[in-house]
Structure 1
Amino acid sequence: MKKVAIFAKVHDPRCLGVAQQLTEWLAQRGVTAKVEDHLSKRLRRPSQTQTVESSEIAQDADLIVVLGGDGTLIAASRMMGEAEVPILAVNLGSLGFLTEITLDELYPSVERCLADDYEVSERMMLLAMVEREGEVIEKHRVLNDVVINKGALARIIDMETSVDSHYLTTFKADGLIVSTPTGSTGYSLSANGPIIHPALECISITPICPHTLTNRPLVVAKDADIDIKLVSGIDEAVFLTLDGQVGVKLVNGDLVKIRRSGHVTRLIQSRSKDYFEVLRTKLKWGER
């Protein structure tokens, strides 16, 4: 590896300090550090450091080191576009279901990556499109989830949902979460959705506070085409939220189309812990 990109939570002084040390550490080993522009403005940069815009962070990079929490990783994965550069996600946040590399593991992990000695977990992504009056007005790729939810003062919303052109039901609820296995431990989990091992390839559909109590989370095939039409019939505040970070206001009649993306996020795995250990630790299973 000759080029390592660094993406960090720029408003966190701890992340900035680690980013500074990492750029210097890479320079001492003759490795070029690519630093996105918002981060670059806050660092003292060694001479061979390259400053790039966020949208170009993955271009020509052999590795991306993400410093922060799960939100920082999710933002980085969206900015990568169609690139599938392996990501070393270092947990400097709080919960961290995805950023399983600890700070103590950072430099040994980077050493192994530079020596091409690492394993990756490929995480499926979703492609979400908003169609209004027959025209696609929004298109986004997500790692975690696509959420339709009502505003604070809005009434229950009606969402006519079909899977592979087969009518499923019209959910009457506060919202609907369509999630990848990676996102199953996010918003979907808090809405009583299933925990899905990230090695599986499937999509979960979880209603948020459904009016019909028999509505339950549903898991469908990885290649399922999910269409959700907003049919509330009244003018109310309804939003589409992508990975909890990008919001789109919807209007009555909008059609949200959700498909499996043709691209994946490649996360470098920790050698000191496995997925079930992460679940036990983060969810405090077995504790009283």
Structure 2
Amino acid sequence: MKEAFQRVGLIAKSGDERVIRVLKELAGLLDGLGMEAVLDKRLAEALPNWQSQISDAEVMAENVDLIIVVGGDGTLLNAARLLAPRPVPLAGINLGRLGFLTDMAADRAVEEMTAVLQGRYTRDHRHMLHARIREGDSVVAEDLALNDVVIQKADGGRMIEFETWVDDRFVSLHRADGMIAATATGSTAYALSGGGPILHPDVDALALVPICPHTLSDRPLVIPGKSRVHFILRGERSNQAQINWDGQQTSPVAPGQTVELQRSEQTTTLLHPPSYDYFALLRSKLHWGRSQDGNVPR
């Protein structure tokens, strides 16, 4: 039995009535367990009678033992990037669609979160990526990503042309809509829809997945997780591209600029309830092995 938590932060997707219901259930749970709740101030207006401390998310991370994220994977991704400098663990309750990261179902949130809060959980450390746009000696933009870093065309027009380098070794020249560089965590996100492989979270690797390449033999490539990757945009100045971090933060990339990425020193720690099983999660979310009646044979 691991040590239970004392102060718990709550971050959630605002503007959703289901979120309010789950947060109220968590309030009762925390109070019943004698734990102190700290609420993200962006939710304070929706919960005016909440008997807890109110805090900025960044400040909250310095003063709590655990942060519960209520929403979808996007909400947790945003929290992970925001809180990366502060190594506080995250536990996710899913109110989105897939829920690969927010793996506790809303209808079992109290039961599963009770186990976590009492110290019955597994701790899961996930690598993050650091990516920056460089022009000469200047850094134009930089950020962190838990799922993926994507370089892609900036509009609906022509494909972009770019070089890929891994550890200062030339890989290929691509003409495509872009390239996804995904962590094992992000292998079940955008990279999966682009035909990339599923990587178990314990696999220390990156998946490079071309987006709609002009050459059919331009296939996904799995490389060591410690690799340093460079994308160099080629073509005319009008050939605009962009980079995005976890589909949330975006910056333009111009020909001649370089996108550099590698594993970050920052990691994200996820806590899972005792019932967590990664392969069961894949079966559930990807509908593996379903019969016509919707059941999964064992």
Structure 1 length as normaliser, TM-score? Answer: 0.94
Check whether the contact 1:206–1:216 (CA below 8 A) recurs between aligned residues. yes
Q: Report the counterpart of residue 246 of structure 1 in structure 2.
A: 249
Q: Report the counterpart of residue 93 of structure 2 in structure 1.
A: 90
Shift of 1:273: 4.0
Superposed counterparts of 1:47-196, under 5 Å: 47=51, 49-196=52-199
Q: Which 5+ residue runs of structure 2 have no aligned equivalent?
A: 293-298
Equivalent residue letter for 1:135: S
Q: Is 2:41 the partner of 1:21? A: no
Change (3 A) 1:113 1:279: closer
Check whether the contact 1:154–1:236 (CA below 8 A) recurs between aligned residues. no
Q: Report the counterpart of residue 9 of structure 1 in structure 2.
A: 13
RMSD over aligned CA atoms reads 1.6
Shift of 1:82: 1.5
Change (3 A) 1:286 1:113: closer
The one of 257, 262, 286 aligned to 1:259: 262
Shift of 1:122: 1.2
Shift of 1:45: 4.0
Shift of 1:178: 0.2
Q: Is 2:46 the partner of 1:42? A: yes
Summarize deviations over 1:2-59 as a string: whole Å, max 9, x none: 2101011112110122113323432344322111111122113444x12112332311
Superposed counterparts of 1:264-283, under 5 Å: 264-283=267-286
Q: Report the counterpart of residue 31 of structure 1 in structure 2.
A: 35
Summarize deviations over 1:82-102 as a string: whole Å, max 9, x none: 222221111111211221111
Shift of 1:263: 1.8
* Secondary structure of 1:259's aligned partner: strand
Q: Report the counterpart of residue 295 of structure 2 in structure 1.
A: none
Change (3 A) 1:269 1:91: same
Shift of 1:162: 0.6
Equivalent residue letter for 1:14: R
Q: Report the counterpart of residue 206 of structure 1 in structure 2.
A: 209
Change (3 A) 1:177 1:165: same
Superposed counterparts of 1:229-240, under 5 Å: 229-240=232-243
Equivalent residue letter for 2:93: V
Q: Distance in 2 between matches of 1:266 and 1:282?
A: 22
Moved over 4 A (4+): none
Equivalent residue letter for 2:244: T
Check whether the contact 2:113–2:273 (CA below 8 A) recurs between aligned residues. no
Q: Distance in 2 between matches of 1:158 and 1:219?
A: 21
Summarize deviations over 1:48-88 as a string: whole Å, max 9, x none: x1211233231121011111111111111111132222211
Equivalent residue letter for 2:17: P
Check whether the contact 2:129–2:145 (CA below 8 A) recurs between aligned residues. yes
Check whether the contact 1:24–1:46 (CA below 8 A) recurs between aligned residues. no
Shift of 1:231: 1.1
Q: Distance in 2 between matches of 1:7 and 1:178?
A: 27
Check whether the contact 2:115–2:273 (CA below 8 A) recurs between aligned residues. no
Equivalent residue letter for 1:76: A
Q: Distance in 2 between matches of 1:279 and 1:27?
A: 34
Equivalent residue letter for 1:23: A
Check whether the contact 1:57–1:79 (CA below 8 A) recurs between aligned residues. no
